[in-house]
Amino acid sequence: MAEKKSSRGDLIKETTRLTREARRRWGAHENAACRKIRDQALTLYQSLTPSEKDEIPQTHRVWLRYRSEKYFGLDRSKPGSKRTAKPAMKTPKKKSHAPSHGVVSTRIESHVGPLVLLASKKGLAGIYFGHRIEVTTLPREDASDRFLKKTAKQLEQYFAGKRETFAIPLDMKGSPFQRSVWRGLYEIPYGETISYGELANRLENPSAVRAVGTANGMNPISIIVPCHRVIGRDGSLTGYGGGLDIKLKLLQHEGILLDT
């Protein structure tokens, strides 16, 4: 029971932290970042009970619930500038930034395309699909790093069908709630899938399905921490940072047949 209360408390703290960060970005006119963080905070907020929402500062609740698109949208004008109409444009999906504690990186080829591996001084810090990582944020390249060499070898064995589990020290940075979700992902066996709702139930937090989905999407270590094994309740693939085609290839590689 204490552990469950702690989990709910972490959810409240994370909602508050994200809202505070979104407000800071809004004040700095960092519109795209504000929008992204505000959406994450709102997803978490909607998973809270009424009593839990009351634990979040009122100023945060009001800002989060009622701040309209024209105030934090991508086309919000700078102070003192004249607002002009802009044609509607499709915003490209933002690439992930390398985790700040990563000190070395390397790039390898795989059956699902290029992969970028990152390591800290303590272990593996990230696995990103090559087209989904901002290269300017990568640390220096060093393929000889012991964590990166071990990861590259085990991934080679995985794609060759000779490995189903990994034995690599992981160094993932995130909030307590995010880390609890990532631990849940790590425990999903090879060749099996579960829904977001089932993952939330396993974490003894059944009302936090959306929050679990958000944390799942922020998983920094693809494949080894298998967020690709989480699918929709109706069996649909749902979203995936690397793209649904890669998610499908990974599941098929593990012998999972889905209706597509």
Contacts 24+ apart (CB under 8 A), 159-166: 159/110, 159/111, 159/253, 161/253, 164/190, 164/191, 165/190, 166/224
Any residues with CB less than 8 A from the CB of 221 and at least 6 apart, and which?
124, 125, 126, 127, 170, 172, 182
Residue 251, amino acid: L
Is 227 tagged catalytic? yes
Instruction: Look at the block and give the residue holding tokens 């993952």.
Output: 199
Residue 128, amino acid: Y
Any residues with CB less than 8 A from the CB of 141 and at least 6 apart, and which?
104, 105, 106, 107
Q: Where are the beta strands (DSSP E) in the chain?
A: 104-108, 115-119, 124-129, 194-195, 230-231
Among candidate residues 48, 148, 188, 227, the one labeled active-site is 227
Task: List residues with catalytic annotation.
Answer: 227
